[in-house]
Amino acid sequence: MNKILAFGATGPFAGLVLPELAQRNAEVRAFVRKSGDVPLVRRNGASEVAIGDLTDADSVRQALKGITSIFYVSPVFLDNQAAIGQRVVAQAVEAGVRRFVFSSVIHPVLNGLPNHASKALVEEAVLDSNLEFTFLHPAILFQNYERTWRGIIENGVIIEPWSNETRHSRVDYRDVAKVAAIAITEDRLTNGTFELCAEGTLNRHEIAAMIGDITGCTIEARRGGADMLNKFPDLLRPMFEHYDRYGLRGNALTLRAILGRDPQTLRAYFEELAGKAPCVH
């Protein structure tokens, strides 16, 4: 029997994997930080729940008992991401886990970007084990816009801390979650590395125009918003500087081939958001 331990089970991104696994009648143990998260992961399809913290090796070790497959993703701003991920890999080997599915990041070879390089080190640890593996490399997530959508349409401005001109690939994490479920419950993606992108590499001017077309609002593209950068300068400054100069681009072919359909589009995602929070102007 395949028993799965899902990390990030309450997160806005990785939490989307639980329902996909539930649709496949998978037996999933969700790893959560506090008891108040238990009802949420139960509703999303977890059959068991382990309460712990990634930084607490003992709680991870307990959660791994009886597990055969892992879905792993680390919190974005987790300190010592690489070391903690490497330790989870080592503990998985010790626990007799067979398969490790890692939601990493597009282009982890960008070793000047700490959030990318840390994931490359975790991938290396997996490759240096005897674990079956699947590495998922998603582009920038559509879901990032959900947090800022209301401000965009109320203020008529879309602001990000890099150039309006550089082009980026993006992806709906719901599509990534479907790929993760395939990787965990089937064999066809085993021992593979997969770049996951929707169609298009849009700059911010084009995104602003798309939102305006959908909502009827006038949306201005603007560079700004240093608040987050000030909170996490060592992590985010190199990333934003890279985005500012080069963007972050990928190709949709792999995701289309895995899903057997076109990936979800950014336009369709914005139409969903507009249905929930339409333009008020």
* 64 inside domain: yes
Rounded Cα gap, residues 143 and 170, in angstroms = 10
pLDDT score of 210: 98
Tell me the three state secondary structure of residue 75: coil
Range of the structural domain that residue 12 is part of = 3-140+171-196
DSSP codes, 39-73: HHHHHTT-SEEEE--TT-HHHHHHHTTT--EEEE-
Query: Does a structural domain hold residue 243?
Result: no
**Binning pLDDT at 50, 70 and 90, where does residue 268 land?**
very high
In a domain, 175, yes or no: yes
Query: For 170-190, what is the mean pLDDT?
Result: 98
Q: Does residue 274 lie in a domain region? A: no
Residue 160 lies inside a defined structural domain of this protein: no
**Separation CA 194–CA 165 (nearest Å):** 27
**What is the pLDDT averaged over residues 156-173?**
96
Decide if 109 contacts 138 (C-beta within 8 A): no
Instruction: Give pLDDT, residue 229.
Output: 65
Contact 71, 45 (CB under 8 A): no
The closest of 271, 247, 262 to 165, measured between CA atoms, is 247
Tokens of 78: 């987790």
pLDDT tens digits for range 216-246: 999 999 998 766 667 667 778 899 999 999 9
| Within-domain flag for 73 | yes
With contact defined as beta carbons under 8 Å apart, do 237 and 162 qualify?
Answer: no
CATH of the domain at 73: 3.40.50.720
Angle at 21 between CA 19 and CA 23, to 5 degrees: 70
Residue 55 lies in a domain: yes
Count of domains forming the chain: 1
Instruction: Check residue 280 and give its pLDDT.
Output: 66
Give CA–CA dist 4/64, Å, rounded: 9
Mean pLDDT of 84-95: 98
What pLDDT, in 10s, does the model give residues 7-65?
Answer: 988 888 778 999 999 999 999 999 999 999 999 999 999 999 999 999 999 999 999 99
Q: Which two tokens stand for residue 57?
A: 């090796």
> Which residue has tokens 């607490």?
56
> What's the pLDDT tens digit per position in 96-146?
999 999 999 999 999 999 999 999 999 999 999 999 999 999 999 999 999
Q: pLDDT band at residue 94, thresholds of 50, 70 and 90? A: very high
In a domain, 237, yes or no: no
